[in-house]
Amino acid sequence: MTIGESSDNNAVEVDGIRFETLVPERELIIPNIKGLKNSVQFGIRITNNSSTSYRFICFHLFPELKRGDRELIELSYARNATKTPTESDFLLVLPQESLTFFINAKFCWRGFQLGLTGYDGSGGVWTLCNLKPGIYSVRFTYENHSQTGKIDGGMTPWRFLEPLWTGVVFTPYEEFRIVQTRYEF
């Protein structure tokens, strides 16, 4: 596996596969009312610049957040039930095509602390706590070590006609800002 250079600061290319951090909104507004949740979009775009079709699974894609002072925010994770991948979770990217995947996340209040909570594909929930107004950066780690996918409760290995891309990639950090609105009367 070789890491290539990219002209974009928010992308990295490995063996002809380009991984890009996506932050569509650079200014995220904190919900003022407890119980109110604002959706947040962070994502990854995978572009296949190679001549081979590959499959990707974004089942365990978690954001990694840093504060403006570069302090890493600890991610907590829990799961009450387990969902295993189905065939449709292994996404096909043909040569010269792209796949865009956004995590499902929301701001939420836990007591007097602002958090960011989201769900992964396996039935787990992750939370980043103690967020405050300020500058942050986000990135993703794409990781897959298996050439085959397991479906049907993990009992059936599924062999696709196209290979499952294997490797570990850390996308570059992309900056955004969390802001609090002022009340207007």
User: What's the pLDDT tens digit per position in 65-113?
Assistant: 999 999 999 999 998 777 777 778 889 999 999 999 998 899 988 888 8
Q: Which of 113, 100, 112, 116 is nearest to 39 (CA)?
A: 116
Domain of residue 31 covers 3-176
Q: Is 126 contained in some domain?
A: yes
Question: What span, in angstroms and rounded, lies between the C-alpha atoms of 116 and 149?
Answer: 30
Establish if 181 belongs to a structural domain: no
pLDDT of residue 183: 57
User: What secondary structure letter does DSSP report for 94?
Assistant: -
Q: Is residue 184 part of a domain?
A: no
What Rg, from alpha-carbon coordinates, does the chain have?
A: 18
pLDDT score recorded for residue 184: 47
Give the CA dihedral 108, 74, 86, 146, nearest 10 degrees. 170
Please answer whether residues 44 and 64 qualify as being in contact, where contact means their C-beta atoms are separated by less than 8 angstroms: no
Residues 1 and 133: their CA atoms lie apart, in Å, by 39
**pLDDT in the model for residue 73:** 96
On whether residue 36 sits in a domain, the answer given is yes
The answer to whether 65 touches 161, Cβ cutoff 8 Å, is no
Could you tell me the two tokens for 106?
A: 């929301």
CA–CA gap between residue 178 and residue 16 (Å, rounded)? 34
123 in any annotated domain: yes
Average pLDDT, whole number, for the chain?
A: 85
Q: In total, how many domains does the chain have? A: 1
Residue 185 lies in a domain: no
**8 token code pair:** 């974009």
Q: Which residues of the chain have pLDDT under 50?
A: 1-7, 184-185
